[in-house]
Amino acid sequence: MTVSYHLQHALRIQRDVKPANWPAALERLPEEARGPCEAYLRGIVQRMRNARAAKAGLPKRAA
């Protein structure tokens, strides 16, 4: 099974896709899928931060 499948399944079980709930969703993943899913979610968080900063007129933050 792919990482995206595991991630979608965990987030669906969690039923709430807010970043605050991601740790609980990651706990439900098999060990081998946890690392790649965490990296993917960290990228999403960084893009969200950059989008908020751009809206506020602030410079982008480094990853």
Provide the residue range defining the domain that includes 43: 3-56
Looking at the structure of the chain, the number of domains it has is: 1
Q: Is residue 61 assigned to a domain?
A: no
Task: Confirm whether 62 is domain-assigned.
Answer: no
pLDDT value for 30: 82
Has residue 14 been placed in a domain?
Answer: yes
Q: Is 17 left (phi over 0), alpha (psi -120 to 50) or beta?
A: alpha
Q: Which residue has the higher pLDDT, 22 or 1?
A: 22
Higher pLDDT, 13 or 59: 59
End-to-end CA distance of the chain: 28
Q: Is 55 a residue whose pLDDT tops 60?
A: yes
Give the CA radius of gyration of the chain.
13
| Count of helix runs (H) and strand runs (E) in the chain | 3, 0
Residue 29 domain-assigned? yes
pLDDT in tens, 10-52: 666 656 667 777 787 778 778 888 888 888 888 877 888 888 8
